[in-house]
Amino acid sequence: MSSARADTLTRTRQWRGVIEEYRSLLEIPAGTPAITLREGGTPLVRSDWLSGLSGAEVWLKVEGDNPTGSFKDRGMTAAISVAKHEGAEAVVCASTGNTSASMAAYAAKAGLKPLVLVPAGKISAGKMAQAILHGAQVIMVRGNFDTCLQLARALAWDYPVALVNSVNPIRLEGQKTAAFEIVDFLGDAPDHHLLPVGNAGNVSAYWLGYTQYRDLAMATRTPVMHGFQAEGAAPLVTGEPFPDPETKATAIRIGNPASWKLAEAAREESGGDFTALSDDQILAAQRELACQDGVFVEPASAAGVAGMLQALATGTSYAGSTVVITVTGHGLKDTVTALEGFGPLVESVVDADVRAAAEAAGLA
């Protein structure tokens, strides 16, 4: 291929990653080279199922399509690029799984040493495999995510490692690009935005992005922000920290969100709300989304969908409006939880015989 042709392809067809696509809108030090795996540019998939149920135009922002399978990559490209630019040699994070997977990948790309603190026994095998294969040193902590975050902060304070949790404001700068992409695609902000909330960095980042676009007249409005937590880890709903958060939706198993204040500001300024859902509601929504729309997400990622189903069941009307639901991470992250409740994996074993297969399938 001629190099002119290659240039054209690069310029016109391949998404460059969120820093190069939106650099002028991001508060990162001028001239920071981008460490990127070409994250972002994720699809907005119309949910025919939820649109039909609600009379709204419902879109799914499918963040599982990011390089490491969750939206965390948007913030991580920013945090790791800046850490590298500023001379860091090692990076640390506390994680329920996806932050560590993402950090390890971007640290590998940048040539930094990744150190990960995770709650012992609470990380899915898929997420753990990602951190390990990308070369992270994984330390299991007796405690929950909130304990891990305290420890990560203290390590970064006392030792030469840079903290890349979402308490690092650079993370939110990267993550807000999801709001830009939605407005760029739809032509304006949606009326409602629904998403899962754990440490509350993402809801805060979306609000940052939407308000920035409105202030720049790139959008005429901002959406109402609706955040969803699991009943066993719902501090933003009750107003009190949860000392022992518990839910099968491990990515939102957080009792004391770091971005609590920013998330409350997003709720108040947008006229939105935070709502708690049972694990059963979340897991049922995960399964239905996979069957109805062909989108397989991890449990926590289905909280926004479960939230919409609950709102419809209790009489809220979205008719005539535009709704975006962020589904935050890929279903393959946690296949063990996904398959719970389905009984034996292989229902019927048959000889390699057409008649037997047809009978087992109920065709004959």
Ligand X SMILES: *Cc1c(COP(=O)(O)O)cnc(C)c1O
Binding status of residue 267 toward ligand X by CB under 6 A: no
Is residue 151 within 8 A of residue 172, CB to CB? The reply is no
**To the nearest whole angstrom, how small is the minimum distance from the Cβ of residue 298 to ligand X?**
5
Residue 311 found at the interface with ligand X (CB under 6 A): no
* By CB under 6 A, residue 103 contacts ligand X: no
Let me know: does 81 contact 139? Beta carbons within 8 Å. no
Among 17, 174, 196, 272, binds ligand X (CB under 6 A): 196
Helix (H, G, I), strand (E, B) or coil at 5: helix
Q: Is 74 in the site for ligand X (CB under 6 A)?
A: no
Residues 108, 130 contacting (CB under 8 angstroms): no
In Å, how far are 70, 91, 93, 349 from 137, measured between CA atoms? 21, 11, 11, 42
Parallel, antiparallel, or unpaired for β 44-46 and 57-62?
A: antiparallel
Q: Does 200 bind ligand X (CB under 6 A)?
A: yes
Q: What is the rounded distance in angstroms from the CA atom of residue 61 to the CA atom of residue 294?
A: 13
Instruction: Choose the stretch contacting ligand X; rule: CB under 6 A; options: 85-93, 234-242, 294-302, 336-344.
Output: 294-302
Sole window of 7-15, 192-200, 233-241, 265-273 interacting with ligand X (rule: CB under 6 A): 192-200
Among 36, 77, 199, 281, binds ligand X (CB under 6 A): 199
Q: Which stretch binds ligand X (CB under 6 A): 38-46, 134-142, 185-193, 195-203?
A: 195-203
Q: What does the H/E/C string look like for 180-247?
A: HHHHHHHCCCCCEEEEECCCCHHHHHHHHHHHHHHHCCCCCCCCEEEEEEECCECHHHHCCCCCCCCC
Residue nearer to ligand X on the CB measure, 72 or 176 = 72
DSSP per residue over 111-122, as a string? T-EEEEEEETT-
| The one segment of 42-50, 232-240, 296-304, 348-356 that binds ligand X by CB under 6 A | 296-304
Residue 116 CA: distances (Å) to CA of 92, 110, 160: 6, 16, 15
Contact 40, 74 (CB under 8 A): yes
Give which of 35, 155, 38, 28 is closest to 84, Cα–Cα: 35
For ligand X, which residue of 198, 223, 307, 331 counts as binding (CB under 6 A)? 198
Does position 300 bind ligand X by CB under 6 A? Answer: yes
Select the residue interacting with ligand X from 36, 54, 202, 281 (CB under 6 A): 202
Number of residues engaging ligand X in binding (CB under 6 A): 18
| Residue 72 binding ligand X, by CB under 6 A | yes
**Closer CB to ligand X, residue 81 or residue 165?**
165
Binding mask 246-265 for ligand X (x = CB under 6 A): -----xx-------------
Within residues 115-174, the interface with ligand X by CB under 6 A covers 166
| CA proximity to 215, closest of 253, 180, 250 | 180
Task: Give contact residues for ligand X (rule: CB under 6 A).
Answer: 70, 72, 98, 166, 196-202, 251-252, 298, 300-301, 328-329
